[in-house]
Amino acid sequence: MSQPHLRLLFSREHIAERVQQLAAAINRDYPDGEILLVGVLKGSFLLVADLARALGRPCLIDFVRLASYGNETSSSGLVEIRKDLELPIRDRDVLIVEDIVDTGLTLEVLYRHLLQGRPRSLKVCALLDKRCHRQAAIEADYVGIRLEEGFVVGYGLDYQERYRHLPEIYLLEPGA
């Protein structure tokens, strides 16, 4: 892709509002006790930070890193775990925190892997849910924003490792 163009999709205010709504829904479903948030690096780093503060309750936080092989903007379907959990999850309420679920292949691999740790409960929170390329039969329990077709960057999401720092979410469009 030549120099891409970024078109604003979701403002920082819109994202903040959706994160607050996610936190409210999660707090309703988990009235007591600690939740263990499992962020999926790298894309979820901002969402974990914002969600943990929006929850306003005791949380444990850990991170995993998975990588899918593919070309610039699409997945090959092969996913590997490159960094595993550091905290034990047995008998804990575990919430996977994803920036985006696209094909669902990353989430499927992670979900199966975490189940082996025998958590008390295992659910998924995703800021963005893009269903048009879904390949795995898996759904997030908490979804901030449903997305149609398009490659998005910002708020943790990258294109060739760029744009993760942006506070807004943009649609990446091919340059001239």
Least Å distance between CB 163 and ligand PRP? 10
* Nearest CB to ligand PRP, comparing residues 101 and 125: 101
Least Å distance between CB 85 and ligand PRP? 15
- Burial class for 139, CB neighbours closer than 10 Å (0-12, 13-18, 19+): middle
* Nearest CB to ligand PRP, comparing residues 52 and 152: 152
The distance from CA 66 to its chain's CA centroid, rounded to whole angstroms, is 12
- Which of 25-40 are b and which e, b meaning 16 or more Cβ less than 10 Å from the residue's Cβ? ebeeebeeeebbbbbb
Position of minimal CB gap to ligand PRP: 43
Binding site for ligand PRP (CB under 6 A): 40-43, 67-68, 75, 98-107, 158
- Copy the structure tokens of residue 78: 């092969």
d(CA 158, CA 164): 5
Q: Catalytic: 84?
A: no
* Nearest CB to ligand PRP, comparing residues 91 and 128: 128
d(CA 19, CA 139): 18
Amino acid found at 101: V
Contact at 8 Å (CB) between 164 and 42? Answer: yes
Least Å distance between CB 1 and ligand PRP? 16
* Nearest CB to ligand PRP, comparing residues 41 and 49: 41
Q: Which of 62, 102, 141, 158 is catalytic?
A: 102
Least Å distance between CB 146 and ligand PRP? 14
Active site residue ranges: 102
